[in-house]
């Protein structure tokens, strides 16, 4: 590993540690640990079960979007778990995309372009389902909670509707836009003999193949089931984290006002927007907790309750995802690469 990468890693660790220490100032790590140790086991088991169910649904969504012949469902579930684990270590979607494409190509023999197309469409459908859920949460929670005067309920609902409409346009136009980008990259140069092909022309060919894969996925007739699956995935995520939050607060013996299901949706939405910023934090530790704490404070909850919920939820959820991901990587290593892996990585 180069000195630059080591320095980048140490910087991300330092940022996460500093943010967590700042967030927990005035709090107690011992109290947080005690609340985790005392949380009801049924709540923890419910979180683990619903979260694993959401992971299975994500694998089903990937499989629906992939072209025939589709990889085995079991191996695709392992790839999904590994991608879910490794993708969290770098801000944004770059690491998740790279991990998913690499594992599909090297372990399951899927072409790089169809693999990338399924991941990109999955991200778009995540945004599409976020829109209506966010709008509904804003209408239910902010209006009923009397917070409409302090929080811009109209803007939040409008943003939810806008996200849905924007995602619908992207699903429709992503293939043509990718094809247009390929033409821009290719420029006006003629396609020479393969031995003289430039990196620019090779990239244009890759983009053409990606545009074809995106168009094929859109024409396959699976977009409606994929949208419904994406909605179930989002609801499973919120339900699992709500069970985890409830268990944490029960373990801490927290009294007074507690976040409800709609509070959690609004808090996680705001948190994910903050965590998507290119802040050099390891696994977004510190950034996620800070965003969630700030969102819950804005919704009117006490600092102690907000901090406990944010730090406990993210810590337990990440630990669970890392365990599942490492187990999945081990099983993928034991099963070996698919017979079609070499063909999938061959240049076209």
Is residue 21 in some structural domain? no
Whole-number pLDDT of residue 99: 82
Query: Where is 169: in which H helix or E strand?
Result: helix 153-186
Q: Which domain holds residue 142?
A: 42-342
Q: Please enumerate in sequence order all residues whose Cβ is within 8 A of that of 341, keeping only pairs 6 or more positions apart, or say none.
A: 105, 106, 107, 108, 109
pLDDT computed for residue 150 by the predictor:
54
- Helices then strands, counting H and E runs in the chain, come out as 14, 0
In Å, how far from its chain's centre is CA 79?
Answer: 14
Q: Is the residue at 308 inside a domain? A: yes
Of 282, 281, 326, 288, nearest to 307 by C-alpha is: 288
Name the domain count of the chain.
1
Q: What is the DSSP letter of 102?
A: H
Q: Which two tokens stand for residue 92?
A: 């944004």
Does the residue 16 lie in any domain? no
How do residues 233-288 score in pLDDT, each as one tens digit? Answer: 999 999 999 999 999 888 877 666 778 888 888 888 888 877 777 777 777 888 88
Q: Using CA atoms, how far apart are residues 278 and 333, in angstroms rounded to an integer?
A: 31
Distance CA 286, CA 17 (A): 7
- Summarize pLDDT for 136-145 with one digit per residue, the tens: 888 887 655 5
Q: Is residue 18 part of a domain?
A: no
pTM: 0.85
Q: How far apart are CA 152 and CA 138, in angstroms?
A: 9
Phi/psi region, residue 187 (left: phi>0; alpha: psi -120 to 50; beta: rest), is: left
- One digit per residue, the tens of pLDDT, for the chain of length 348 reads 578 878 877 888 898 899 898 888 867 788 888 888 999 999 999 999 999 999 999 999 999 999 988 999 999 999 999 988 876 665 555 667 888 899 999 889 899 999 999 999 999 999 999 989 988 888 887 655 544 445 677 788 888 899 999 999 999 999 999 999 999 988 755 555 555 567 888 888 999 999 999 999 988 889 999 999 999 999 999 999 999 999 988 887 766 677 888 888 888 888 887 777 777 777 788 888 888 888 888 877 888 888 888 899 999 999 999 999 999 999 988 886 665 554 454 444
Distances (CA, A) of 188 to 153, 176, 201, 341: 50, 19, 11, 34
Q: Residue 289: is it exposed, middle or buried by C-beta count within 10 angstroms (0-12/13-18/19+)?
A: buried
Q: How confident is the model at residue 196, as a pLDDT?
A: 52
Q: What are phi and psi of 183, to 5 degrees?
A: -65, -40
Q: Output the six-digit token pair for 196.
A: 């003289």
Inside any domain, residue 31: no
Q: Whose CA is closest to 266, among 149, 157, 109, 107?
A: 157
With respect to residue 9, please indicate whether it lies within any of the assigned structural domains: no
Task: Tell me 299's DSSP state.
Answer: T
198 in a domain, yes or no?
A: yes
For the record, the structure tokens of 189 come out as 């140069």
State the pLDDT at residue 52. Answer: 96
Residue 322 falls within a domain, yes or no? yes
Residue at token pair 């965003």: 291
- Cα 71 to Cα 75: distance, rounded to the nearest angstrom: 7
């Amino acid at each position: 590993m180069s000195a630059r990468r080591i320095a980048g890693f140490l910087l991300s660790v330092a940022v996460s540690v500093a943010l967590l220490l700042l967030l927990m100032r005035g709090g107690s790590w011992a109290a947080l640990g005690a609340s985790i140790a005392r949380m009801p086991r049924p709540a923890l088991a419910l979180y683990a079960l619903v979260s694993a169910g959401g992971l299975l649904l994500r694998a089903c969504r990937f499989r629906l979007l992939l072209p025939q012949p589709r990889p085995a469902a079991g191996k695709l579930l392992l790839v999904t778990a590994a991608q879910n684990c490794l993708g969290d270590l770098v801000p944004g979607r770059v690491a998740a995309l790279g991990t998913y494409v690499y594992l599909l190509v090297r372990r399951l023999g899927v072409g790089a372009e169809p693999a990338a197309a399924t991941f990109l469409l999955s991200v778009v459908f995540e945004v599409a389902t976020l829109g209506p859920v966010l709008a509904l949460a804003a209408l239910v929670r902010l209006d009923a909670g009397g917070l409409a005067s302090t929080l811009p309920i109209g803007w939040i609902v409008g943003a939810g509707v806008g996200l849905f409409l924007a995602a619908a346009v992207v699903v429709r136009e992503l293939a043509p836009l990718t094809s247009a980008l390929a033409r821009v990259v290719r420029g006006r140069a003629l396609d020479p003999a393969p031995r003289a092909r430039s990196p620019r022309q090779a990239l244009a060919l890759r983009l053409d193949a990606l545009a074809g894969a995106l168009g094929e996925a859109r024409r396959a007739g699976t977009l409606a089931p994929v949208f419904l699956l994406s909605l179930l995935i989002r609801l499973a995520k919120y339900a699992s984290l709500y069970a985890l939050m409830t268990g944490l607060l029960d373990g801490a013996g927290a009294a007074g006002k507690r976040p409800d299901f709609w509070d959690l949706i609004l808090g996680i939405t705001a948190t994910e927007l903050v965590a998507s910023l290119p802040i050099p934090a390891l696994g977004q530790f510190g950034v996620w907790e800070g965003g969630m704490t700030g969102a819950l404070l804005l919704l009117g909850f006490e600092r102690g309750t907000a901090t406990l919920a944010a730090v406990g939820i993210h810590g337990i959820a990440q630990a669970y995802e890392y365990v599942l991901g490492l187990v999945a990587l081990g099983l993928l290593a034991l099963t070996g690469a698919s017979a079609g892996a070499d063909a999938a990585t061959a240049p076209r």
